[in-house]
Amino acid sequence: MKKLEFYVPKAHLEPVLDALFHAGAGRIGHYDRCCWYAEGMGQFRPIEGADPYVHSGQQVHREPEFKVELVFQAALQTEVIAALKQAHPYETPAYQVLGIET
């Protein structure tokens, strides 16, 4: 079992979750579409060569985001990460994959 943690802008939470659930993430026992999320504030400053989701010149931009955590079977990692990257609006989404024991 693996756990995916990532950050997504508030307006894109549902489409990204739908893509991940379609790829097989979020299944625990006899339940699907399982996840946890909490609201927070992310920030970034684009540097040369960046193509940011929100153009702010070279100024620091703050964006309301959710941190999302969900699990998936290790064999699905390629499909789950591909779904995240395709559905996520950021040029480079921030995420991490952790091995877990349940």
For the segment 32-67, what is each residue's pLDDT rounded down to a tens digit?
Answer: 999 999 999 999 888 888 887 777 678 898 989 999
Average pLDDT score over residue span 79-95? 96
pTM for the predicted model, two decimal places: 0.89
Domain count, the chain: 1
For residues 33 and 59, what is the distance between their CA atoms, to the nearest angstrom?
A: 37
Which residues does 29 contact at the CB level (< 8 Å), separation at least 6? none
**Contact (CB, 8 A) for 16 and 46:** no
Phi first, then psi, for residue 52 (nearest 5°) are -70, 155
We report the CATH number of the domain holding residue 87 as: 3.30.70.120
- 26 by Cβ neighbours in 10 Å (0-12 / 13-18 / 19+) ranks as buried
At residue 56, the pLDDT reads 67
Mean pLDDT (the chain) is 94
Range of the domain at 76: 2-99
**Contact (CB, 8 A) for 101 and 3:** no
Query: At CA 93, angle to CA 89 and CA 69, rounded to 5?
Result: 105
